């Protein structure tokens, strides 16, 4: 669908999202054009204290590097977890549904599975699950067991 071709009809959700984006952009442009005194008046009219808001902005600017570092660390942890999962699946190979169910049943009874997780998985059935759902369940169980073992040292 060509956004410049007006003969193509856009779905209502897409059209509404475009209208909302345009309204947001218009409001941002309006706020950026305000003088400091006008911005203070806008803040007061909305029930905010301009001085407190400026102080909050300074505080957030000071905290931003730490927040960014934490977010980057979290992304890296997720990347490592995805790599670990991919390696496990590759090592495990392709299993049929019955083999996946047997492995899941074994992992549910593994003494290394943390007690809260064991309770959650105890009554979680596998009969109506697809292969993808079974693989994901097995991945979760194995990751919980491994993480618990590492945490115990």
* 4 within a domain of the structure (yes/no): no
Count of domains observed in the chain: 3
Measured CA to CA, the distance from residue 104 to residue 86 in angstroms comes to 18
**Looking at residue 94, what DSSP letter applies?**
-
CB burial class (10 A; 0-12, 13-18, 19+) of residue 142? buried
137 and 110 in a common domain = yes
Residue 6 covered by a domain: no
Looking at residue 122, its pLDDT comes to 83
Clarify whether residues 153 and 100 are in a common domain: yes
Would you say residue 7 lies in a domain?
no
Q: Are residues 68 and 88 in the same domain?
A: yes
What is the reported pLDDT for 20?
Answer: 95
46-105: pLDDT as tens digits:
999 999 999 999 999 999 999 999 999 999 999 998 898 889 889 989 999 999 999 999
Domain encompassing residue 106 = 95-153
Question: Do 104 and 138 reside in the same domain of the chain?
Answer: yes
How many CB atoms neighbour CB 96 within 10 A? 10
Q: What local confidence, expressed as pLDDT, does residue 121 receive?
A: 87
73: which 2 tokens? 């660390």
Global pTM?
A: 0.53
Per-residue pLDDT at 10: 84
Residues 29 and 81 in one domain: no
pLDDT at site 4 = 61
Instruction: For residue 1, tell me if it sits in a domain.
Output: no
Q: Do 64 and 122 touch, CB atoms closer than 8 A?
A: no
Q: What is the pLDDT of residues 2-17, one digit of tens each?
A: 556 666 788 889 999 9
Inside any domain, residue 8 = no
Q: Do 130 and 113 share a domain, yes or no?
A: yes
Same domain for 60 and 104?
A: no
Show the DSSP H helices in 46-130 as ranges: 50-92, 97-108, 115-122
Please list, in sequence order, all residues whose beta carbon lies within 8 angstroms of the beta carbon of residue 65, skipping any fewer than 6 positions away.
none
Same domain, 149 and 103: yes
Do 101 and 120 fall within a single domain?
yes
């Amino acid at each position: 669908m060509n956004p410049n071709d007006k003969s193509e009809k856009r779905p209502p959700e897409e059209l509404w999202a475009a209208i909302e984006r345009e309204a947001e952009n218009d409001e941002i442009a309006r706020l950026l054009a305000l003088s400091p005194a006008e911005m203070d008046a806008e803040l007061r009219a909305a029930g905010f204290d301009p001085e407190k808001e400026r102080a909050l902005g300074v505080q957030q600017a000071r905290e931003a590097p730490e927040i960014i570092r934490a977010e980057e660390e979290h992304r890296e942890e997720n990347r490592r977890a995805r790599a670990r999962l991919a390696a496990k699946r590759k090592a495990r190979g392709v299993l049929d549904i019955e083999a996946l169910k047997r492995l899941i049943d074994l992992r549910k009874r593994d003494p290394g599975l943390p007690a809260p997780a064991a309770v959650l998985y105890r009554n979680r059935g596998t009969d109506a699950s697809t292969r993808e759902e079974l693989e994901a369940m097995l991945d979760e169980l194995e990751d919980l067991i491994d993480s618990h073992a590492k945490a115990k040292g």
